[in-house]
Structure 1
Amino acid sequence: MIVIDQRSPVPPFEQLRQQLLTAVGSGELVPGARLPTVRRFAEDLGIAPGTVARTYRELEQTGVLETRGRHGTFVTANGPEAEARSAAAEFVARLRRLGVDAATARGLVDSAFEGTA
């Protein structure tokens, strides 16, 4: 269940994004699951429709969600590639919050793969 804490220092967009990623990663939201409409989800969560739309757009860009026009927004196939995209999106969001630039982030990933991090 997705809950937005209005008192949290974490913006509603980030709370929603993280909770959706977690739900997809844990299997709570399975591939093919249809998400509520932007307006409906915003209403249910007590946040602005633009916040939900932004979250859907970002997760669609990372391959976690797909929008099928008037048919709605769905969780994509949850194979290893989708899971890796989800993990990468979480990693990038965390690094952005820390103020780490893209070049430094790439270096950190390279070091981690080489076992030198």
Structure 2
Amino acid sequence: MTEPAVRVDTTSPVPPYEQIRAQLAALIITGRLTEGERLPTVRQLAADLGLAPGTVARAYRELETAELIRTRRGAGTRVAAPPSEAKQPDPNQLATLARHFTAAARALGASPEAILLAAHQALK
């Protein structure tokens, strides 16, 4: 990861670890971060973002649980190989993402109709 592609909005209702997790997951899933690419250390990314190392560590743990990254002593944290078969998304993770999105949209003053419209447009 050669450029700071992750940003954290401290005014967002979405917790910083979730912002980091979601952004890195999107970069990996879209192929902007490729298999074997090395991620910054927990301490380095925390320093770059002005966050506590535990915040970044939690995001990395969740990415490891999702099998998007792997950490090995001496080799650092790297993007994992894509799964050989497509997995069904975890319904709990989807519900959490939906709650974060709606909370952020409501904080902007969006109506339920506007939130649904934005979700439908994002799916296209």
TM-score, length-normalised on structure 1? 0.71
Q: Displacement of 1:94 after TM fit?
A: 3.4
Q: Residue 74 of structure 1 aligns to a residue in which SS?
A: strand
Partner of 1:92: 92
Q: Residue 74 of structure 2 aligns to a residue in which SS?
A: helix
Runs of 4+ in 1 over 2 A off after TM superposition: 78-81, 91-94
One of 59, 77, 80 as aligned partner of 1:76? 80
1:10 paired to 2:14: yes
Specify which structure has the higher proportion of helix: 1
Partner of 2:56: 52
1:79-102 Cα distance to aligned partner (Å, 9 max, x none): 454xx45x725x53231364xxxx
Structure 2 residues not aligned, in runs of 5+: 100-124
Partner of 1:19: 23
* Residue identity matched to 1:62: A
* Residue identity matched to 1:6: T
Partner of 2:113: none
1:51-110 Cα distance to aligned partner (Å, 9 max, x none): 1111111111121110011220000012454xx45x725x53231364xxxxxxxxxxxx
Q: Residue 70 of structure 1 aligns to a residue in which SS?
A: coil
Structure 1 residues not aligned, in runs of 5+: 99-117
Paired residues of 1:30 and 1:78 also in contact (CA < 8 A):
no
Q: Displacement of 1:49 after TM fit?
A: 0.4
Partner of 1:61: 65
TM-score, length-normalised on structure 2? 0.68
Between the aligned partners of 1:65 and 1:59, the Cα distance in structure 2 is 6
Q: Displacement of 1:47 after TM fit?
A: 1.2
* Residue identity matched to 1:88: P
Partner of 2:35: 31
